[in-house]
Amino acid sequence: MRFNDERDIFFKKRFGMFIHWGLYSIPAWHEQIIWRGNIKRSEYERYVDQFNPTKFNPDEWIDIAKEAGIEYICFTTKHHDGFCMWDTAFTDYNVMNTPYGKDVLGQLAEACQRRNMALSLYYSIVDWHHPNYPNMGRSHEMFGPRKGDLPDAKKYLDFVKNQVRELCTKYGKIYQFFWDLNSANFVDESINEMIRSLQPGILINDRGPGPGDYSTPERHVPEGRVFSIPTEACQSLGRESWGYKDDEDYYSCKHIIRSFDKILAMGGNYLLNVGPKADGTIAQENIKLLRKIGKWYKTVYEAFDGTYPASYLITNDDVLLTKRDNTVYVHLCNEPEVNRVILKPLDILPKRAILLNNGQELECRVDVTPGLWREKPYLRIRNIPVDEMTDTVMVIKLEFDESINE
Collapse the DSSP code of 361 into the 3-class scheme (helix H, G, I; strand E, B; otherwise coil) and give the result: strand
Shortest reach from residue 183's CB to ligand GLC, in Å:
10
# chain residues binding ligand GLC, by CB under 6 A? 6
Q: Residue 30 CB, nearest distance to ligand GLC (Å)?
A: 8
What residues numbered 241-300 form the site for ligand GLC, per CB under 6 A? Answer: 242
- H-run or E-run covering 11: none
Residue 124 vs 132, nearer CB to ligand GLC: 124
218 vs 310: CA distance, rounded Å: 24
User: Per-residue x/- marks for ligand GLC, 64-103, CB under 6 A?
Assistant: ----------------------------------------
**What gap in Å lies between CA 22 and CA 376, rounded to an integer?**
60
Rule CB under 6 A: is residue 222 a binding residue for ligand GLC?
no
Alpha-carbon gap, residue 102 to 106, rounded angstroms: 8
Map the footprint of ligand GLC across residues 21-40, applying CB under 6 A: 31-32
Best CA proximity match to 239, nearest among 298, 289, 168, 278: 289
| Nearer of residues 18 and 329 to ligand GLC, judged by Cβ | 18
Q: Which of 157, 234, 343, 384 binds ligand GLC (CB under 6 A)?
A: 234
Q: How far, in Å, CA of 129 to CA of 156, rounded?
A: 11
CB of 216 to ligand GLC, least distance (A): 7
Question: Where in 329-388 is the site for ligand GLC (CB under 6 A)?
Answer: none
DSSP H/E element including 171: none
Q: Which residue is nearest to ligand GLC (CB)?
A: 242
Nearer to ligand GLC, 243 or 280 (CB): 243
Q: Exposed, middle or buried by CB within 10 Å (0-12, 13-18, 19+), for 5?
A: exposed
Cα 181 to Cα 119, 185, 205, 371, distances in angstroms: 20, 9, 11, 51
- CA separation (Å) from 218 to 10, 222, 236? 18, 9, 9
What share of residues in the chain are helix, strand, coil (percent, to 5)? Answer: 30, 20, 50
**Nearest-approach distance from CB 32 to ligand GLC, in angstroms:** 5
> What residues does 323 pair with on adjacent strands?
308, 328
Decide whether 234 or 404 has the Cβ nearer to ligand GLC: 234
Closer CB to ligand GLC, residue 32 or residue 91?
32
Give the nearer residue to ligand GLC in terms of CB position, either 236 or 281: 236
Write down the least CB distance from residue 200 to ligand GLC, Å: 25
Site map (CB under 6 A) of ligand GLC, residues 144-183, x = contact? ------------------------------------x---
Q: Quick one: 25 or 32, whose CB is closer to ligand GLC?
A: 32
Least Cβ distance, residue 275 to ligand GLC (angstroms): 10
**What's the rounded Cα separation, in Å, for the pair 47 and 66?**
31
Question: Distance between CA atoms of 271 and 216, rounded to whole angstroms?
Answer: 9
- Whichever of 233 and 343 has its CB closer to ligand GLC, that residue is 233
Minimum gap (Å) between residue 362 Cβ and ligand GLC: 39
Contact between 59 and 113 (Cβ < 8 Å)? no
Asked if 151 and 135 touch (Cβ cutoff 8 Å), the reply is: yes
> Which is closer to ligand GLC, CB of 235 or CB of 357?
235
Q: Does 218 bind ligand GLC (CB under 6 A)?
A: yes
**Contact residues for ligand GLC, defined by CB under 6 A:** 31-32, 180, 218, 234, 242
